[in-house]
Structure formats: structure tokens, C-alpha cells
């Protein structure tokens, strides 16, 4: 097994041996290939017809009509298709589609995507709001910013202002109706036990470094969220130290509350136990990456 011992210990302490064994088994599974139909350029029916024409088997997703799972091919082949090159689809894991769906972006709202590159969730916000929201996409790294610009243009997403800045230091002068904070994390929900380099990359130092930036980002998000506004905090980690513990630290002495995620499609998700009621943590499986999501509302004074 390539999974670091310290992670197994953390999982055992948090979830117990039975759930930990299920997680460790999921780390060995190969995940499905999925993409999101870009409704700014095309429709799901048109894409399904195109897949049928070229002999690609697919599976629709009950909880999101714009998500498609492809069965008999891989990402490299999908990237050769015209529907990909034209920006009519965007390769994206099922779990990473969830935060924007739960955010429920509103038309005409001022929306901040705090850690936006490479742009999958940014362009999903644009699609779900039909290009009628005002999006600020924040990204510090220059190379990743260029990739973000490329994807925004390719997807036909408009009304997006790119702010090349560390989101932890956004001026408190700004304020937003809705915020997506898909925070940098250890990636403990996305590990593949077949990767022999895991122990070199996934370290306790990485986990601790992630928690520091997560806390600072969430505190900033709460500061610049308008009273009455809502935000999403999400990570692709299944460790409480990066999820519930960060919420507890950042939300103390703030006029905020957890908005329970009580959507109909929760019944389709493989959920792990959580320490804060109303939040969700998706378990890694063949279909899903491990993903934590919390919705926060800033109350009016």
C-alpha cells in the first residue's frame, strides 16, 4: 500500500476502522470519466446525440442533467473531440460540480470565486446563472491565471473580472452577494493508491500548510460577504482538520450560521459522517472524489 501511515491513523481516529477500510479500498479504484455540458454553447441533448454518433457509451446523472459519465473511453480521447475543442463540454469530476450547484448562483449577483483556476467552477457559475451574474475570479499564480483566461474564453463565459491576487489579501472594501471558496487542500479525498509517489507528495506538512491557508481564506471570505449573503466552503479533503475544524475556528464570534444542505439529490451521494450538522462530506468511490461542502450565511445585523 502506498497510502501514508499517518493518513491511515488520522482516518481511523476520525471515522473508525470500518469506514476507514472502505475509504482505503476506494483509493484503489479507478474513477469514472465525467464532464459537464457547457449550456452557454450547447444543450445536453445535442451532446448525447454527438456521443451516440461516434460510438461513445455514456451514463446520465440523476442529480444534474448537465453531467455526463462516459463509459468506454478516456480523457485523452475526449480531448480530441470537436465538442471538447469548441468548449461545448468541460472535463470535470462529479464531486467538483457539487459546490456550485449548492451555491445556486443568482443572476445579477456579485459573486466571488476565491481560488478560481483553472476555471471549471468559475465557468459553471457563469453557465448556471446564464452569463447574467457579475463574477470576480481570483487567482494568484500568473501561469494559472493564463489558463483561467483561456478556459473562460473557450467556454464563452462573460461578465467575469479576473483579479490576479492572493485571495487572503483582498481589500475589505470589496463585498459580495455570494462567494465560492473551494480552498486549496491536501487532496486526501482524491488519492490513488496505485501512485507510487503518494508518500513523497502527500505529507503531514502539506496537511498542516493547507489548514493555515484555509483558515485565513475563510476568515477573509466571511469579512467580505455581504450581510444576508451566502457562501460555500469546500475542499477535496475528507479530514476534519481541513473541514469542520476550520469552520469552527473561522466562524467563532462572527454573525454567521451554517445553512443545512438539504437537497433532494443527497440520496444519490455516498456520504461520510460529519461533525457539523448540515454540512456534507462525500466519500471517495468509483464515481466520486472525496469532497467536503458547507454553506454559510452571513446574517443581517
Q: What is the set of active-site residues?
A: 236
Cα Rg, the chain, nearest whole Å: 19
* Whole-number Å distance between alpha carbons of 240 and 158: 36
Question: In the 8-state DSSP scheme, what is residue 273?
Answer: P
User: Which residue intervals of the chain are DSSP H helices?
Assistant: 5-15, 17-26, 44-53, 75-78, 82-85, 94-103, 120-128, 142-155, 198-201, 204-224, 244-251
d(CA 72, CA 56): 6
Up-side HSE of residue 18: CA atoms within 13 Å toward CB? 2
Report how far residue 267's alpha carbon sits from residue 148's, in angstroms, rounded to the nearest whole number: 33
Amino acid at each position: 500500500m502506498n497510502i501514508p501511515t499517518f493518513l491511515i491513523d488520522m482516518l481511523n481516529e476520525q471515522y473508525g476502522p470500518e469506514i476507514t477500510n472502505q475509504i482505503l479500498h476506494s483509493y484503489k479504484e479507478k474513477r469514472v470519466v465525467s464532464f459537464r455540458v457547457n449550456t452557454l454553447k450547447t444543450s445536453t441533448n445535442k451532446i448525447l446525440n454527438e456521443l451516440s454518433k461516434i460510438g461513445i457509451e455514456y451514463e446520465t446523472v440523476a442529480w444534474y442533467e448537465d453531467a455526463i459519465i462516459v463509459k468506454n473511453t478516456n480523457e485523452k480521447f475526449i480531448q480530441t473531440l470537436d465538442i471538447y475543442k469548441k468548449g461545448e463540454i468541460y472535463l470535470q469530476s462529479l464531486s467538483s460540480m457539487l459546490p456550485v450547484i449548492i451555491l445556486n448562483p443568482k443572476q445579477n449577483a456579485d459573486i466571488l470565486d476565491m481560488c478560481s483556476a483553472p476555471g471549471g467552477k468559475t465557468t459553471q457559475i457563469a453557465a448556471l446563472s446564464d452569463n447574467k451574474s457579475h463574477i470576480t475570479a481570483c487567482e494568484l499564480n500568473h501561469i494559472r491565471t493564463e489558463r483561467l483566461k483561456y478556459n473562460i474564453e473557450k467556454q464563452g463565459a462573460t461578465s467575469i473580472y479576473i483579479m490576479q491576487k492572493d485571495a487572503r489579501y483582498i481589500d475589505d472594501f470589496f463585498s459580495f452577494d455570494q462567494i465560492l471558496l473551494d480552498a486549496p487542500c491536501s487532496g486526501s479525498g482524491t488519492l490513488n493508491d496505485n501512485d507510487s509517489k503518494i508518500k513523497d507528495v502527500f505529507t503531514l506538512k502539506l496537511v498542516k500548510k493547507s489548514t493555515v491557508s484555509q483558515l485565513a481564506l475563510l476568515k477573509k471570505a466571511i469579512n467580505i460577504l455581504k450581510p444576508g449573503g451566502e457562501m460555500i466552503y469546500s475542499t477535496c479533503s475528507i479530514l476534519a482538520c481541513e473541514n469542520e475544524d476550520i469552520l469552527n475556528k473561522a466562524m467563532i464570534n462572527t454573525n454567521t450560521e451554517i445553512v443545512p444542505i438539504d437537497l433532494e439529490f443527497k440520496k444519490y451521494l455516498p456520504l461520510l459522517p460529519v461533525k457539523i450538522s448540515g454540512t456534507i462530506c462525500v466519500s471517495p468511490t468509483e464515481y466520486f472524489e472525496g469532497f467536503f461542502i458547507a454553506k454559510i450565511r452571513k446574517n443581517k445585523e
